[in-house]
Amino acid sequence: MNIQREHRSIRHWSRQDRPREKMFDMGAASLTDSELLAILLRSGYKDGSAVDLARKLMEAADHKLSRLSTMGVKELKQFKGMGEAKALTVMAAMELGRRRRLAGYEEFPAISGSSDAFDLIAPVLEDLSHEEFWVLFLNRANRMIAKASVSRGGVSGTVADPKIIFKLALEHLACGVILCHNHPSGNVKPSNADKILTEKLKAAGHFLEIQVLDHLIIGGHAYFSFADEGLL
C-alpha cells in the first residue's frame, strides 16, 4: 500500500483493499479491526479516509477493542471527522459485542470454580470506568439461577448493602451466592474494606444458611478470588 493511495478516497482503491469489498470477497475474519471499524464509520474527513480515521481511533485505544469500548461520545468526538452519529455507531457496535458475549451464558451453567464465575461476570464488569457490585445466585447444584446489580459507585468505590443482597437471595431461593465487583484501576488486590465486607456478608449468609461461595474482584481481564486465596 503506497502513500499516494493512502490519502485517496477509498472508492479509488483497488477492490482487494476496500473494506466492504474485501469483506464480501474474503469474509469478515480477513479484515483488521481498523477495516471493520471503517465500515461502521462509512466516511472519513477532508484529509483522510474512513480507514485513516479508524486507525487513529485504534491507536488512541492502544489497539485494544476493550479500551475502545470504554470511550464515550465526548471522548470519541475529539477526533477529527467523528461526529455524534459516528460516535454512537461505534458505541452501539461495542455494546452489541458485549451482549453477544453475555448471550452464551443465558442457560445458566454450573459453576465449578472461580474461572467459571469470572467468565460469567467479566463481560459486565471488566471495561467499566466506575465500580459496580454484582451478585450471582446459585442453587444447590451450584448452577446460576440469577444475577443482579446491587450497587453502583464512582471511580474509587461502591457500597454493597447486605440487606439487599440477602433479600434478593431469599427471593430467588438461592442456596449460595458469589459476590463480584470491579476495580476500575485494574488493581485486583482486595482493600481492607473489601475484606471486612466479605466477612460481614459471610456471617450474614451463615445465619440465613446461604453460603457465600466466593468474592471476585475484577480488574480488566484479571481477577482476584477470595476462595482461591483461602480467605473464605
Q: Range with the lowest mean pLDDT among 30-39, 124-133, 146-155?
A: 146-155
Give tens-digit pLDDT for 49-59.
Answer: 889 999 999 99
Residue 87 has pLDDT above 70, yes or no: yes
Residue 187 has pLDDT above 90, yes or no: yes
Residues 72-92 have a mean pLDDT of 93
Residue with grid cell 465486607, as numbered in its chain: 197
Residues 94-103 have a mean pLDDT of 78
pLDDT value of position 107: 60
User: Could you give the CA distance from residue 55 to residue 62 in angstroms, rounded to a whole number?
Assistant: 10
pLDDT value of position 88: 95
Please report, for the chain, the start and end positions of each structural domain, with discontinuous segments joined by +.
3-102, 105-225
Residue 142 has pLDDT above 50, yes or no: yes
Q: Which residue has the higher pLDDT, 159 or 88?
A: 88
CB-based burial label for 208 (10 Å; 0-12, 13-18, 19+): exposed
CATH H-level, domain 105-225: superfamily: Cytidine Deaminase, domain 2 (3.40.140.10)
Q: Are 181 and 132 in contact (CB under 8 A)?
A: yes
pLDDT value of position 17: 64
Residues 164-169 have a mean pLDDT of 95
Give tens-digit pLDDT for 190-229.
Answer: 999 999 999 999 999 999 999 999 999 999 889 999 999 9
User: Could you give the CA distance from residue 50 to residue 44 in angstroms, rounded to a whole number?
Assistant: 4
pLDDT value of position 194: 94
Torsion of CA 57, 187, 203, 119, to 10 degrees: 50
Would the pTM of this model clear 0.75, i.e. be above it?
Answer: no
Q: Mind giving me the DSSP string for 74-106?
A: HHHTTSTT--HHHHHHHHHHHHHHHHHHHHTTT
pLDDT value of position 207: 94
Q: Name the phi and psi angles at 208, rounded to 5.
A: -95, 0
Give tens-digit pLDDT for 1-41.
Answer: 444 444 555 665 666 568 888 888 888 888 899 999 999 99
Q: Are 33 and 58 in contact (CB under 8 A)?
A: yes
pLDDT value of position 44: 86
pLDDT value of position 113: 95
